Structure 1
Amino acid sequence: MPTFSAVKSASTPRTPSPDRAPRRPERHDRAPAPAVYAVSDLHVRYPANRAFVARLRPRTDHDWLIVAGDVGEFAADVEWALRTLADRFHTVVWAPGNHELWTPPTDPVQLRGEQRYLHLVALCRRLGVVTPEDPWPVWRGEGGPVAIVPLHLLYDHTLLPAGTATTEEALARARAADIVSTDEVHLHTDPYPGVADWCRARVELTERRLAALDPELPTVLVNHFPLTAHPTRTLHHPEFALWCGARRTAHWHRRYHALAVVYGHLHIPRTHFVDGVRCEEVSVGYPREWRARGEQPPAPRRILPFAPADDEPAPAAYEPATAAAEPATVTDEPTPVPLTPAPGADEPATAPPGAAA
């Protein structure tokens, strides 16, 4: 994949002809413009991931940050991370993941299901963080106006792995293969009978709100889970797709005029296109996962303004972990943070048993 940096080449530059116009300055030589970035699956119970969040900085005073779920399992960790980010970024937009909705037995906050979600919404409002329950903000910087639409939708076990025809058959195959989400232990759905019922209620509520949007206003749809089944086809265990979304949202990127869809959950950071709509999986993931791809966690992805890969400026800035930072490099994957992992950083401080995506 192409890589671009502030230093384009080590070769000797050509002497410009006196009759030629001066070359336009390099993009990185100009002051950065405000932008919207996105990240997910911070999992701050892991010391290395917590250090990553502690070093995260915007490039300008007007940058926005989308946080697409799975900040952590414990309410205090979610509050710490979102407070840290809200103190730095102009606007922070949060969509919940499944991990925020867990009720770990050692969390002092023992609220379950919808009450836990509403507790986190109230927490976010105290911090000035936008939630799915708030009016959706409109980005009016470069690339705007665009409505940034955080969603809380969950999943309903309708994304079936190949070779299965019904949810019951697919779940039976998953259990036989010992592929079962930890949500089955820690994610409670009170007052709904099950997660599919909660998902159905959230989808219907959200469809009504989306239908009321100005049809001329494009959107960035932000959900922890992918809106279509396409990303789940890359899963090592296809059975896990059952815990990754709902078929009812498969057309939303077209129906609701999405310029981009932002999601996480899969821990497979990538950019891909569905029906011409850009889809960004922006997860950090667990240390053992991001270390398999490189020494450092992936940085937030720039969502707006969108630019082709060969015109992409560096993403959000960071407080360097060492005295001298390397020149910024940009690829079609987010740029890593210069972070020195702490000893034992592969393990969370006190993660709930069986922690998994």
Structure 2
Amino acid sequence: MINVSMVVLGSLPILRCQSRYRKYYISDQYIQPQSYKMTHMKRRCTTQVISLPYDVDIDGEMSQGLRVFVLSDLHTDYSENMDWVKSLSTIRYKNDVLIVAGDVAETYNDFVFTMSLLKDRFEHVFYVPGNHDLWCRWEGDNYLDSIEKLNALLTACSGIGVKTSPAIIDGLGIIPLFSWYHESFDKEENITSVRFPSLEMVCKDFHACKWHGELSSKDLSLALYFDAMNKKNHDQIEEIQQICSQIISFSHFLPRQELCPEKRMLFYPNLPKIIGSDSLEARIRSIHGTDGNSTSCHVFGHTHFCWDTVFDGIRYIQAPLAYPKERKRRINDGEIWLPFCVYGNGKLTGKISPCFWCDYYSNNSRQPGNHELAPWVAKLYNRF
């Protein structure tokens, strides 16, 4: 076993090494040691975020009509994150929509308080559950399992006025998609040159979530169970497809492996086994079309990597608040430019590139067959 201290935060491990290369974090952009320069990456990679006044969208135009903002991975169990939510203006978003792509808080009370704060600030709030939301470790005997807690969260959302079903807002279709990850989502070759910790050691979901009957994180059962929850919204989705020329769908988990860096770039190369769902991408394509179009957008969360890119005609966006320590080591922070505006002036906002990995892959092809660990990863494991 690798002799490192591992702080496991949900499904995202933060590996710390007692050396001058001790600042290792899985975050949106900054995963290399501060003292290591990524000279092999092209200088065109963007390292700054554009900060805009709240009444201007990211095309530089004055916003008129409906605006839609997105946010994921709030983790308001951390007081710094709860303070950030409290600091959001109670005025500037009063006519706007907020899409929350999961991982609000670990406990029911923090979840309800956070969602109430957001509903006070936005006219419409949409939500899908993340894995942290379904943890039961601090809930005592309040819930028999994570499904019972899920139902309690959805009931709470209904009482607060938070939407968890598809809806049409000023002609825009917004579709929440329930999902869960499965190990077979990972289609890229395993890296076998180094022995990595097991999924059970790294991912707290295996211990903090409780599942009944045949539901398990070790097979497809959870992914299929959560995907089946979307079937009850079939008629609403069909209506949106018939009426709306623009649709935004969203989930917590990833629909494509390309929305995560290659394994050799990650401090935990087996991370792709606990991040996404094949059923989710199939459902997204059934909504937006096989080839997508310029009005198609899917928002996701979970990995804490900022993302803004297009695959097969669909724009994919992740805008995580993430953990406080991750934000401190980001190049682009996140406390200023979040929540992220994706829709204004009757259209999806134009693409900007504040995301390190999106810029990297726009200039470098993905090489899933390349097993050579990135220098900042190799330095961690080769030490021991």
TM norm structure 2 = 0.65
Q: 1:159 aligns with which of 176, 179, 185?
A: 185
Cα 1:6–1:260 shift into 2, 3 Å: closer
Instruction: Show the 5 A alignment for 1:157-306.
Output: 157-160=183-186, 162-164=188-190, 175-176=197-198, 180-195=202-217, 196-207=220-231, 209-210=233-234, 213-214=238-239, 215-216=241-242, 217=244, 218-234=246-262, 236=266, 237-257=268-288, 259-293=296-330, 294=332, 297=335, 298-305=337-344, 306=348
CA distance, structure 2, for counterparts of residue 60 and residue 219 of structure 1: 21
Residues 1:97 and 2:144 are matched in the alignment: no
Contact 1:33 1:60 in 2 (8 A): no
Please give the residue correspondences for 1:97-116 in structure 2 after superposition, counting only pairs within 5 Å.
97-105=130-138, 109-116=142-149
Tell me the distance in 2 between the aligned counterparts of 1:332 and 1:232: 16
Are the equivalent residues in 2 in contact too, given 1:161–1:239 (CA < 8 A)? no
Match of 1:354 in 2: none
Distance 1:6 1:176, change over 3 A: closer
Query: 5+ residue gaps in structure 2?
Result: 1-45, 54-58, 356-384
SS for the counterpart of 1:200 is helix
Deviations 1:47-76 (A, max 9, x none): 211111001136342101011111110000
Determine helix, strand or coil for the equivalent of 2:66: coil
Matches of 2:61 and 2:313 in 1, distance apart? Answer: 32
Runs of 5+ consecutive residues of structure 1 not aligned to the other structure = 8-26, 311-330, 334-357
RMSD over aligned CA atoms reads: 3.0
Q: Are the equivalent residues in 2 in contact too, given 1:227–1:252 (CA < 8 A)?
A: no
SS of match in other structure, 1:220:
strand
1:193 CA drift (Å): 2.9
Alignment partner, residue 34 of structure 1: 66
Q: Report the Cα offset of residue 6 of structure 1.
A: 6.9
What do the CA deviations read for 1:22-54 (whole angstroms, capped 9, x no partner)? xxxxx9795654301010100111121111100
Change (3 A) 1:192 1:101: farther
Q: What do the CA deviations read for 1:102-130 (whole angstroms, capped 9, x no partner)?
A: 00235574442211100101111110111
Query: Structure 1 252/108 Cα, relative in aligned 2: closer, same or farther at 3 Å?
Result: same
Measure the CA separation in 2 of the matches of 1:102 and 1:54: 23
- CA distance 1:254–1:55, change in 2 (3 Å): same
**Structure 2 partner of 1:54:** 86
**2:75/2:103 contact within 8 Å kept:** yes
The CA deviation at 1:202 is 2.3
Counterpart secondary structure, 1:198: helix
Given the superposition, is the C-alpha separation of residues 114 and 60 from structure 1 closer, same or farther in structure 2, using an over 3 Å criterion? closer
In structure 2, the CA distance between the partners of 1:60 and 1:103, relative to structure 1 (3 Å rule), is: closer
Percent identity, aligned pairs only? Answer: 22
* Amino acid of the structure 2 residue aligned with 1:155: Y
Q: State how far apart, in whole Å, the 2-side matches of 1:193 and 1:251 are.
A: 21
Distance 1:207 1:29 in 2: 38
- Structure (1 or 2) with the larger CA radius of gyration: 1
Aligned equivalents of 2:350 and 2:60: distance in 1?
15
Q: Secondary structure at the match of 1:245?
A: coil
Aligned in 2, Cα 1:284/1:275: closer, same or farther, shift over 3 Å?
Answer: same
Q: 1:28 to 1:274 in 2, by over 3 A?
A: closer
| 1:139 alignment partner in structure 2 | 169
Which amino acid in 2 is paired with 1:302? C
Contact 2:146–2:210 (CA<8 Å) still a contact in 1?
Answer: yes
Q: Does 1:78 align with 2:108?
A: no
Deviation at 1:5, TM superposition (A): 6.3
Aligned to 1:338: none
